[in-house]
């Protein structure tokens, strides 16, 4: 008796989709959970590749909601890299590939950051359980669901600024940010060498090119800090406190404002304005915080 190999019950993509109208094939693409799945399906036959390319704008809108974290900021970066403006639709598969590569780089930076920084964060004098769960006495060794998008948004912003060569455009971009956004951006600009955009060590990266990228980020970082301090001075009429020195036991290294347990303290930094006359009470100007409330959308 000869045993035959079991037959796969999975239909061949071209035969399965061929009877369907193009509109329904596009709907199938729109319901996929990731662009990896989209590209995988599109690669199975010429017919589905054509469906993907012709319906790209529609498919992108549906899949990006599930697959591109902080998509609005990812689109601004794509525009800074020479892609279409954020208000326009995605126009080519090349745009999608670029956004996927960008997001993968951000995720690599998050993994490195979690290992080198997040696992060492301190919460001295603050109730960690209030922010990270009952019975917890320290920050978890990973970015929380609210810290992660803060990191991603700021990383995209930093990357975009590094991509802009025109000084006036850079300055205009910084001036469009709220004080809270600038403080987050300061910290992201201080990432350890090798975590910044385009700084990953690999055989294809020349040492000289890598050094140039690191130096460019360091120069930009100084500019961001100076702009943040001048913005604080303009808003509050006084110098900004050295919060990264004063509260050094409530974070790790130069990283403080992005943590959940420092959220209320950050609000005091952004909104608090001390009176210039006795008894020098600090008033809260919450409208300064509300300038960037849509950040969390």
pLDDT digits (tens, 9 = 90+) for 80-123: 999 999 999 898 999 999 999 999 999 999 999 999 999 999 98
Q: What is the mean pLDDT of the chain?
A: 86
CA distances from 175 to 96, 148, 269, 288 (A): 29, 24, 19, 14
pLDDT band at 294 (very low <50, low <70, confident <90, very high): low
pLDDT band at 215 (very low <50, low <70, confident <90, very high): very high
Residue 219 has pLDDT above 70, yes or no: yes
Tokens of 210: 């890598």
pLDDT greater at residue 91 or residue 51: 51
Give 13-31 pLDDT, tens digit per residue: 455 666 788 899 999 999 9
Residues in Cβ contact with 35 at an 8 Å cutoff, skipping those fewer than 6 apart: 63, 67, 96, 100
Residue 279 has pLDDT above 50, yes or no: no
Angle between helices 22-30 and 46-54 (to 10 degrees): 80
For residues 158 and 195, the answer to whether their CB atoms sit within 8 Å is: no
pLDDT band at 293 (very low <50, low <70, confident <90, very high): low
d(CA 240, CA 234): 10
Within 10 A of 42 (CB to CB), how many other CB atoms are there?
22
């Amino acid at each position: 008796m000869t045993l035959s190999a079991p037959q796969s019950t999975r239909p061949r993509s071209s035969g399965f989709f061929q009877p369907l109208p193009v509109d329904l094939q596009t709907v199938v693409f729109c319901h996929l959970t990731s662009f990896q799945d989209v590209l995988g399906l599109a690669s199975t036959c010429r017919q589905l590749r054509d469906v993907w390319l012709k319906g790209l704008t529609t498919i992108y809108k549906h899949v990006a909601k599930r697959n591109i974290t902080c998509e609005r900021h990812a689109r601004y970066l794509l525009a800074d890299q020479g892609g279409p403006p954020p208000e326009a639709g995605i126009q080519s598969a090349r745009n999608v590939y670029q956004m996927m590569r960008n997001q993968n780089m951000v995720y690599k930076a998050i993994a490195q950051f979690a290992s080198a920084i997040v696992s060492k964060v301190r919460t001295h004098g603050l109730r960690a359980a209030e922010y990270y769960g009952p019975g917890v006495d320290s920050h978890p060794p990973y970015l929380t669901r609210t810290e992660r998008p803060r990191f991603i948004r700021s990383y995209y912003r930093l990357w975009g600024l590094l991509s802009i060569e025109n000084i006036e455009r850079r300055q205009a971009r910084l001036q469009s940010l709220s004080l809270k956004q600038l403080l987050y951006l300061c910290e992201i600009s201080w990432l350890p060498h090798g975590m910044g955009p385009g700084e990953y060590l690999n055989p294809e990266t020349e040492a000289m090119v890598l050094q140039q990228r690191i130096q460019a980020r360091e120069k930009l970082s100084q500019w961001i800090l100076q702009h943040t301090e001048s913005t604080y001075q303009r808003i509050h009429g006084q110098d900004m406190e050295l919060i990264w020195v004063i509260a050094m036991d409530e974070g790790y290294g130069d990283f403080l404002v992005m943590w959940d347990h420092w959220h209320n303290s950050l609000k005091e930094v952004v909104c608090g304005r001390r009176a210039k006359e006795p008894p020098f009470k600090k008033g809260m100007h919450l409208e300064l915080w509300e300038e960037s409330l849509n950040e969390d959308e």
